[in-house]
A and B are shown apart, each in its own frame.
Chain A
Amino acid sequence: GAVVSQHPSWVICKSGTSVKIECRSLDFQATTMFWYRQFPKQSLMLMATSNEGSKATYEQGVEKDKFLINHASLTLSTLTVTSAHPEDSSFYICSASHDRGSGGQETQYFGPGTRLLVL
């Protein structure tokens, strides 16, 4: 159980285009989804927290107009990188958790990640 999928697994795009990444929880309802970015040989940096049916909460320094997040259902969240530039090239990983009322102690399950290369 607790499987999270991500699509696409990799994408190459031209500078200025927009890219949409999907994150799905396959066998559980994800009340909260998280989006991370990971540069080579670095840690995971949280970009935003997404709750179903409400606006995402962005971390300091993350542009909400550039990284659009939609959590339309309990099994799907999307991240759209708008007007992508080469510096946006990175490994984007989502995670999902189910609120069981344990006050923020829920396990996060990660998707396989999406490698974005902007030319």
Chain B
Amino acid sequence: GENVEQHPSTLSVQEGDSAVIKCTYSDSASNYFPWYKQELGKRPQLIIDIRSNVGEKKDQRIAVTLNKTAKHFSLHITETQPEDSAVYFCAVNAGGTSYGKLTFGQGTILTVHP
């Protein structure tokens, strides 16, 4: 099955700095890569996603880059704010299926210090 590795497990930055989280995956047929933000005790919220026909996608302070050849993708958050503090999960779909089953990374605890 799909193997997803996410790094780092914890990330601490100062407000205004950038944060980068990276995920690698194993199934070359995977073609959908979402990122979710989960605050303590809450549901995961989709913050950005990318499909394999593009290499980069940006939404205000958040961007995702994808390297299909190397099988890795990264989340970039610029001008971080304290409210960005949360756990971030990458996910990868099961390529070649029609139901979109996702495998999640281990998560990154991001702390933004004021």
Chain A residues with a Cβ under 8 A of chain B: 32, 34, 42-46, 49, 51, 57, 93, 97, 99, 103-113
Contact = CB atoms under 8 A, between A and B. Distances in A.
B81 interface: no
Contact of A46 (B31, B51, B96, B102): B102
Contacts of A111: 43
Contacts of B94: 104
Nearest to A48: B101
A109 B30 CA distance: 19
Given A43-B106, A43-B107, A113 B43 contact: yes
Contacts of B45: 110
Contacts of A57: 99
Contacts of A93: 43-44
A57 B104 CA distance: 18
A46 B46 CA distance: 17
Nearest to A94: B43
Q: Chain B interface mostly helix, strand, loop or mixed?
A: loop
Interface of B: 31-32, 34, 36, 42-46, 49, 51, 89, 93-107
Contact of A107 (B34, B43, B96, B104): B34
B43 A104 contact: no
Nearest to A32: B99
Contact of B102 (A103, A108, A109): A108
Contacts of A105: 31-32, 51, 93, 100
A104 to B, nearest CB: 4
Contacts of B89: 43-44
Contact of B98 (A34, A104, A107): A104
Contacts of B97: 104
A43 B46 CA distance: 15
B34 A104 contact: no
Nearest to A45: B104
Contacts of A103: 31, 98
